[in-house]
Amino acid sequence: MSTIEQLEKILPYAPLKIVSMDSCLELGRRVNNYIVSFRENTVSEVKESPLYVNYRVQNYLVDYACPRFGTGEAKGHIKESVRGTDLFIITDVGNYSLTYTMFGRQNRMSPDDHYQDLKRIISAATGKAKRINVVMPFLYESRQHKRTKRESLDCAIALRELIDMGVNNIITFDAHDPRVQNSIPLNGFDSFNPSYQFIKALLRNVPDLNVDKNHLMIISPDEGAMHRAVYFSNVMSVEMGMFYKRRDYSTIINGKNPIVAHEFLGDSLTNKDVIIVDDMISSGDSMLEAAKMLKERGAKRVFVCTTFGLFTSGLDAFDDYYNKGYLDKLITTNLTYVPPAIHDKPYYIQADMSKFLALIVDSINHDVTIGKVLNPTAKIRALLEKHREQFLNL
């Protein structure tokens, strides 16, 4: 039985409402449209029942605002009733394109600003909504998930703070280290991976990709991404390799230990396509260096799949590596903001996650299992089987 069929047979936990913060308006709109579509053809026989009075509507999005005073201080304002609802608040803390005025000057919103606005909306809904769920695709402070010596534990503190404010569930994607959920062991925390969407986007845009162990290899750019690469290699039945980063731990530059060298561990790459999988691209320096080394070792084509494309140093280096032949395709999701210019790049592919996220929201609203959503192995294998049949006919 598919997830959609399960939803038809179960009442929702409470009427659904969605707050799509300014940082992710387009993603929220697409999620809303998919849920409207999901529900148009369900419960047709009992749609007159009072139990379904708020089930099928044309818009689940809530009108809200976070106006600011001249000093830069702000408040959250929900402009319609959310009493008794199952409220989902979607936010992108990585959207640096938004600004606000402070003492007459334009300030660019940081992750801290987005997080504060999120708390303002939670505060405005607390005591009204029946349940509050936070959808934060790029987990706030997820890169500071563990403590070394005298350091703050920002991600754990943020999660505790959200729970203390009344949040019931936290939904994120590809958490840098999912073990951070240990800070809130009695509350809902789900980290989803876009594995299926990556493979679907890659096969759609590279139809001549030969998926077998003689022509394809999965690469982990460092030891931290090993579990992603292991899953990809197993589900695609291909070999895996990895890079080991040697760092200078006596020096800190831009908040991190600089990489001294990349060491490759793996089989021969000669005339093989390779897929590098990771959770994020920050500046992209280490990812591009890995792509260059793979090409120098004889790789045929290099495809990079990463959930979050942050591009903190811009796109010039990616353009340069593409022009030099080190990079063939770059796939990121639409779960966080990317500079609009990247959509015109010949190497860029965006994996749309809005339908996947809509299915997650709808499933949680119905309190049904999300086991199939968490484990897309069967869908990936069906997709690969279909691709292999089409590949043989090329």
Q: Note the pLDDT tens digit of each residue in 17-32.
A: 999 999 999 999 999 9
Least confident range of 166-180, 260-274, 302-316: 260-274
Q: What is the pLDDT of residue 227?
A: 87
**Which residue from 300, 383, 315, 313 is spatially nearest to 348, judged by alpha carbons?**
315
Contact 213, 238 (CB under 8 A): yes
**Is the sign of the CA dihedral 66, 69, 74, 80 positive or negative?**
negative
Mean pLDDT, residues 249-264 taken together: 70
Mean pLDDT, residues 12-16 taken together: 92
Q: Which residues contact 384 (CB under 8 A, 6 or more apart)?
A: 199, 203, 211, 235, 236
Contact 247, 257 (CB under 8 A): yes
Q: Which residues contact 253 (CB under 8 A, 6 or more apart)?
A: none
Residue 90, helix vs strand vs coil: strand
Contact 91, 24 (CB under 8 A): yes
> Around 75, how many Cα atoms within 13 Å sit in the side-chain half-sphere?
6
Q: Which residues contact 312 (CB under 8 A, 6 or more apart)?
A: 282, 283
167: tokens are 């949040």
pLDDT tens digits along 180-227:
999 999 999 999 999 999 999 999 999 999 999 999 999 998 877 888
Q: Which residues contact 353 (CB under 8 A, 6 or more apart)?
A: 27, 137, 173, 194, 197, 333, 334, 335
- pLDDT over threshold 70, residue 255: no
Q: What is the pLDDT of residue 67?
A: 95
Q: Report how far residue 345's alpha carbon sits from residue 76's, in angstroms, rounded to the nearest whole number.
A: 38
163: tokens are 């729970």
Q: Report how far residue 290's alpha carbon sits from residue 302's, in angstroms, rounded to the nearest whole number.
A: 10
Average pLDDT of the chain is 89
Q: Report how far residue 49's alpha carbon sits from residue 270's, in angstroms, rounded to the nearest whole number.
A: 64
pLDDT tens digits along 98-137:
999 999 999 999 999 999 999 999 999 999 999 999 999 9
Contact 270, 298 (CB under 8 A): yes
- pLDDT over threshold 70, residue 166: yes
Q: Which residues contact 199 (CB under 8 A, 6 or more apart)?
A: 236, 380, 383, 384
Give DSSP secondary structure letters for 120-184. Answer: HHHHHHTTTSSEEEEE-SS-TTTT--S--SS---HHHHHHHHHHHTT--EEEEES-S-GGGGGGS
pLDDT tens digits along 335-385:
999 999 999 999 999 999 999 999 999 999 998 888 766 678 889 999 999
Mean pLDDT, residues 168-178 taken together: 93
The pLDDT > 70 percentage for the chain reads 90
- This prediction's pTM: 0.90
Q: What is the pLDDT of residue 39?
A: 84
Q: Report how far residue 261's alpha carbon sits from residue 264's, in angstroms, rounded to the nearest whole number.
A: 10
